[in-house]
């Protein structure tokens, strides 16, 4: 009977993680480039039970009883979001696979799908949070127009000059196992041992997506899907709470059998 208490407690804890994950997805439904997450469930510590004596001779394997459920990880879902037109020349969306690589203040590298770019006081192309893109792409201070091609080439038209000048290239990073990237906050992800090192390539090559200037990628959160999952998680939490309550009541009855 005490096992029922612990098993139902693991279920409540797991469903609480699911509810928290869905709540975070819904909170970021309008965050540019946000990728929803999913809680991963797995059985907890299965234990073998010996087969009945009369069946063991017939080769019947032992049965198993689980000890509850655990959530070993919450994994991001990198399915594409809708591309929305902004008509701003420094807004860039990735149409397909890939990430922008940015340099963190501590010198490490991080990866993002958020393509709202700007030019800092030094003329360097940076993200909305001020993180420079890998390669330190510098734009002319007198640039009258910026053209970012689908292949990642950046060209600038300077004031009083008709010709376009190529000033840099945006490469995209890909991973063997992108689901294993570690969320670092602010729509950033960091590579892990499980994700592998970043593999760089030009947009449109080696499976990488192309760039779309004047567009931003919306989050891939589907409200109907999330609300449905939220209701299921809440009901599962309530069911586990009922099991906990029933086990407690049975233990109370046992304790009251003799006074």
The phi, psi pair for 50, rounded to 5°, reads: -60, 145
pLDDT score at 247: 87
Three-class DSSP category at 13: helix
User: Between 18 and 247, where is the model more confident?
Assistant: 18
pLDDT score at 103: 94
pLDDT score at 5: 85
For residue 42, the surrounding DSSP H or E stretch is strand 37-43
User: Between 223 and 248, where is the model more confident?
Assistant: 223
Spatial distance between the Cα atoms of 139 and 156, rounded to a whole number of angstroms: 7
What are the tens digits of pLDDT across the range 227-241?
999 999 999 999 999
**Domain coordinates in residue numbering, the chain:** 2-78+221-255, 83-217
What are the tens digits of pLDDT across the range 38-82?
999 988 766 555 555 555 555 656 566 678 898 988 999 999 999
pLDDT at position 162 over 70: yes
Three-class DSSP category at 117: strand
pLDDT at position 85 over 80: yes
CA 211, chain centre distance (Å): 21
The overall average pLDDT reported for the chain is 89
pLDDT score at 101: 96
Alpha helices in the chain (DSSP H): 2-27, 53-56, 223-255
Spatial distance between the Cα atoms of 78 and 66, rounded to a whole number of angstroms: 32
Q: Specify the range with the lowest mean pLDDT, choosing from 117-126, 136-145, 149-158.
A: 136-145
Tallying the residues shown for the chain, one arrives at 259
What are the tens digits of pLDDT across the range 20-41?
999 999 999 999 999 999 999 9
């Amino acid at each position: 009977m005490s096992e029922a208490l612990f098993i139902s407690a693991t279920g409540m804890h797991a469903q609480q993680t699911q509810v928290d994950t869905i709540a975070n997805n819904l909170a970021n439904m309008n965050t540019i480039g946000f990728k929803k997450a999913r809680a991963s469930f797995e059985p907890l510590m299965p234990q073998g039970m010996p087969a009945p004596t009369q069946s063991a001779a017939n080769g019947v394997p032992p049965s198993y009883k689980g000890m509850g459920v655990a959530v070993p990880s919450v994994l991001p879902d990198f399915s594409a979001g809708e591309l929305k037109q902004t008509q701003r020349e420094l807004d860039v969306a990735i149409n397909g696979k890939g990430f922008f690589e940015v340099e963190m203040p501590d010198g490490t590298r991080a990866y993002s799908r958020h393509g709202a770019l700007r030019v800092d006081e030094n003329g360097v192309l940076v993200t909305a949070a001020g993180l420079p893109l890998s390669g330190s792409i510098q734009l002319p201070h007198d640039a009258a127009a910026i053209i970012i091609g689908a292949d990642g080439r950046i060209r600038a038209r300077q004031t009083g000059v008709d010709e376009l000048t190529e000033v840099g290239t945006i490469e995209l990073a890909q991973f063997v196992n992108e689901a294993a990237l570690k969320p670092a906050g602010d729509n950033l992800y960091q590579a892990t041992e499980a994700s592998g090192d970043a593999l760089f390539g030009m947009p449109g090559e080696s499976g990488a997506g192309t760039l779309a200037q004047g567009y931003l990628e919306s989050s891939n959160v589907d409200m109907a899907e999330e609300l449905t999952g939220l209701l299921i998680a809440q009901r599962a939490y309530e069911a586990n709470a009922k099991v906990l309550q029933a086990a407690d009541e049975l233990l109370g009855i046992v304790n009251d059998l003799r006074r």
